[in-house]
């Protein structure tokens, strides 16, 4: 067993374009945060899209120099499987040089098998709730709206993906859960609490910060939605709640994101209300957040939405569902409602519209602790989670050795 004070040696396997958008941004910041926390990180992405300023050793699997293996030509799942195969071969050469392996869904099966055979602890990132739960929740919500998810969409039911991810769940030593909601979705599927490790995501305080002065809202409440405009994000609930409150009489509700086919048509009359402004895809989200009083996210299922971290850093008060995976406290720096509870959400909007002192107090309380949810803070917490995993894994291995009578 290594000394608990020794420098962590991490193999970080990410099968996508590290530093690109969405989960690729999440993974990049995790690696950067780990390096800032003092870990020795060997990153094996499919492709490195954004270089690191910190000392991270990077060995891509699907690129060499300027040459890249196109994901589209190979097919997404085949490309991820090729990445997994290459990393699993590298693991064989790294025994004794790494303490833990961090993997991501759909690109981990062979790596997890190799690590188990070699006695190396592994963690599997879960950027979303348990896949079976997520598929069922999205399917049910779409049915209520009379919609179907587009074929091939990442949140449309896919039995092949479900099968691969279930095998990965079974093989990983531990599963990393970025929110209590994600953790609960695995407990509900029969996973033991001991295998579920809570960590967190974060936000970049260089991009997301409050404005110099937050104006008094004489023109009405300014509410913002940012995300994929699809049923799982609950935009339909946000619109119903907004239009059911008097805040819509003088306030402004801005909607940022791209709609899946058919969803905008279902929401048609609500989206055309004079208080609602549909902005589509935008590149100025930090500034839009600084201009807003509230970020609303009534998700029906989620991992831990990065926009909730970013909005807090920008000075927005969160109005979120319990499924949004936001790090916040109800009644202290945010208001949280049960999934689908439009009446409660509408009351929350009305409350902050009428009581601006409460809005200011919540904003102040949120900003006072926003330093606890940066990517640097997330890196430190992830490093702590690794140490717990390594210690627990080593203790179990030692217990097995003693019980079996091996030297």
Same domain, 249 and 128: no
Measured distance CA(56)–CA(182) in Å, rounded: 29
Measured distance CA(401)–CA(406) in Å, rounded: 5
H or E element, residue 224:
strand 222-226
Q: Do the domain assignments include residue 264?
A: yes
DSSP 301-353: S-S--HHHHHHHHHTPEEEEETTS-----BTTTEEEE-TT-HHHHHHHHHHHH
Q: What is the pLDDT of residues 60-90, one digit of tens each?
A: 999 988 888 889 888 999 999 999 999 999 9
Measured distance CA(177)–CA(204) in Å, rounded: 20
DSSP 131-173: HHHHHHHHHHHHHHHT--PPTT-TTS--HHHHHHHHHHHHH-S
Q: Do the domain assignments include residue 4?
A: no
Q: Do the domain assignments include residue 196?
A: yes
Same domain, 233 and 169: no
Measured distance CA(236)–CA(226) in Å, rounded: 13
DSSP 59-75: --SSEETTEE--HHHH-
pLDDT of residue 397: 61
Q: Can you give the pTM of this predicted structure?
A: 0.93
Q: What is the pLDDT of residues 355-371, one digit of tens each?
A: 999 999 999 999 999 99
Q: Do the domain assignments include residue 273?
A: yes
What pLDDT band is residue 284 in, cutting at 50, 70 and 90? very high
Same domain, 380 and 337: no
pLDDT of residue 65: 81
Note down the domain range covering 356: 222-372
Lowest mean pLDDT among 5-9, 93-97, 153-157, 348-352: 5-9
Reported residue count of the chain is 407
Judge whether residue 405 has pLDDT over 50: no
Q: Do the domain assignments include residue 210?
A: no
Q: Is 70 left (phi over 0), alpha (psi -120 to 50) or beta?
A: beta
Measured distance CA(94)–CA(316) in Å, rounded: 45
Judge whether residue 194 has pLDDT over 90: yes
Q: Do the domain assignments include residue 146?
A: yes
Judge whether residue 214 has pLDDT over 70: no
Measured distance CA(143)–CA(139) in Å, rounded: 6
Same domain, 116 and 175: yes
Same domain, 345 and 358: yes
Longest Cα–Cα distance of the chain, Å, equals 76
Q: Do the domain assignments include residue 137?
A: yes
Measured distance CA(326)–CA(305) in Å, rounded: 7
Same domain, 17 and 131: yes
Same domain, 267 and 120: no
Same domain, 231 and 195: no
Q: What is the pLDDT of residues 119-136, one digit of tens each?
A: 999 999 999 999 999 999
Same domain, 103 and 237: no
Same domain, 141 and 235: no
Q: Do the domain assignments include residue 3?
A: no
Judge whether residue 340 has pLDDT over 90: yes
Q: What's the average model confidence in pLDDT over 228-244? A: 97
The count of other CB atoms within 10 Å of the CB of residue 59 is 15
Domains in the chain: how many in total?
Answer: 2
Residue 346's CATH number: 3.40.50.2000
Same domain, 336 and 366: yes
Same domain, 65 and 140: yes
């Amino acid at each position: 067993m290594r000394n608990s004070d020794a420098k962590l040696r991490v193999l970080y396997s990410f099968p996508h374009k590290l530093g690109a958008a969405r989960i690729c941004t999440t993974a990049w910041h995790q690696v950067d945060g780990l390096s800032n926390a003092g870990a020795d990180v060997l990153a094996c992405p499919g492709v490195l899209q954004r270089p690191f300023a910190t000392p991270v050793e990077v060995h891509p699997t699907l690129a060499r120099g300027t040459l890249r293996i196109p994901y589209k030509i190979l097919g997404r799942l085949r490309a991820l499987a090729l990445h997994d195969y290459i990393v699993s071969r590298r693991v064989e050469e790294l025994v004794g040089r790494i303490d833990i392996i961090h993997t991501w869904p759909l690109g981990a099966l062979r790596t997890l098998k190799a690590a188990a055979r070699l006695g190396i602890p592994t963690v599997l990132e879960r950027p979303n709730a348990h896949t079976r739960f997520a598929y069922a929740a999205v399917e049910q919500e779409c049915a209520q709206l009379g919609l179907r998810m587009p074929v091939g969409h990442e949140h449309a039911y896919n039995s092949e993906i479900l099968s691969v991810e279930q095998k990965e769940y079974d093989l990983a030593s531990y599963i990393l859960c970025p929110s209590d909601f994600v953790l609960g979705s695995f407990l509900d599927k029969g996973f033991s609490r001991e295998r579920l490790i809570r960590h967190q995501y974060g936000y970049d305080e260089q991009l997301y910060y409050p404005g110099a002065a937050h104006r008094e809202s004489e023109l009405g409440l300014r509410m913002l939605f940012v995300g994929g405009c699809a049923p799982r994000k609950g935009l339909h609930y946000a619109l119903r709640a907004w239009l059911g409150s008097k805040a819509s009489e003088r306030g402004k509700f801005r909607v940022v994101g791209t709609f899946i086919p058919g969803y905008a048509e279902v929401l048609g009359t609500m989206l055309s209300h004079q208080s609602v402004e549909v902005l589509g895809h935008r590149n100025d989200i930090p500034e839009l957040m600084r201009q807003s009083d509230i970020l609303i996210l009534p998700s029906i299922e989620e991992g831990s939405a990065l926009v909730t971290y970013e909005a807090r850093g920008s000075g927005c008060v969160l109005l979120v569902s319990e499924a949004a995976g936001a790090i916040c406290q109800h009644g202290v720096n945010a208001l949280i409602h049960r999934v689908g509870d439009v009446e409660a959400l509408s009351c929350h909007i009305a409350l902050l519209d009428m009581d601006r002192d409460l809005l200011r107090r919540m904003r102040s309380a949120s900003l006072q602790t926003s330093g606890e949810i940066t990517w640097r803070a997330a890196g430190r917490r992830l490093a702590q989670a690794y140490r717990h995993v390594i210690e627990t894994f080593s203790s179990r291995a030692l217990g097995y050795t003693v019980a079996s009578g091996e030297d």
